[in-house]
Amino acid sequence: MQERPEVLRQFLENKVAQRNGPEAILFGSGEFAGITLKEAAEQENKSAVDLLMEMGPQSASAAHFVMDQKLQDRLMLGENVMVSSDGSPTMHHPRGYGSFAKVIRYYVIEKELLSLEEAIYKMSGLPAKTIGIEDRGRLQEGMKADLLIFDPKDVQDRATFANPHKLADGFDWIMVNGTLVREDGKFNGERKGQVLKDRSISGK
């Protein structure tokens, strides 16, 4: 019967292999945030699995580069596919500040896979419709005035795994609930946002 450490070692070896190896696993938090498992192991002069065993469970979050870019591009074209982001107080992931800018930069400007109108709809009108928020997501009389004024050619996602909190370029004029909150790239102190709940479920 195998000892527990050996069972754990084999488990971790399999998991690392399934995720394209230690060079494709990037720490998002903890002591090694911003570098790969391969780099961290080399820094500590240990094998990747030995380092993971030493770190223990829940010691850090990580991003795993296992998705195929061509598949992502095909999925993005789906009429029901929306653009969003997520996060937490401990998250260190560039999507927190870069998701929307990246879609405009990559899918609209560089690859021309989406029109600007399609990209914006996937970020605004479609999500609002999907979760039942009927007074947002469109430029229309009577709707809440949540507006972003920008030149798509100036939009650039700047956040990286090493510097995940860097704001995107090009989003310099923002209006929330009809009030200007960001002017010429600077927050003006106005706080007009509110929590939007899923009305499609609550019915309220």
DSSP per residue over 129-148, as a string?
HHTT-TTSSS--TTS---EE
pLDDT tens figures, 95-113? 889 999 999 999 999 999 9
Instruction: Give the domain range for residue 23.
Output: 4-64
The gap between the terminal CA atoms of the chain, to the nearest Å, is: 58
Count of domains observed in the chain: 2
For residues 161 and 144, give the distance between their C-alpha atoms in angstroms, rounded to a whole number: 34
Q: Which of 12, 43, 64 is the last residue of a domain?
A: 64
* Residue pair 153/105 in contact by the 8 Å Cβ criterion: no
Whole-prediction pTM? 0.78
Instruction: Kindly state whether residues 86 and 59 are assigned to the same domain.
Output: no
Q: Which residues contact 60 (CB under 8 A, 6 or more apart)?
A: 27, 28, 29, 30, 31, 32, 33
Instruction: Kindly state whether residues 119 and 168 are assigned to the same domain.
Output: yes
pLDDT tens figures, 157-187? 999 877 888 999 999 999 999 999 999 999 9
Instruction: Kindly state whether residues 124 and 183 are assigned to the same domain.
Output: yes
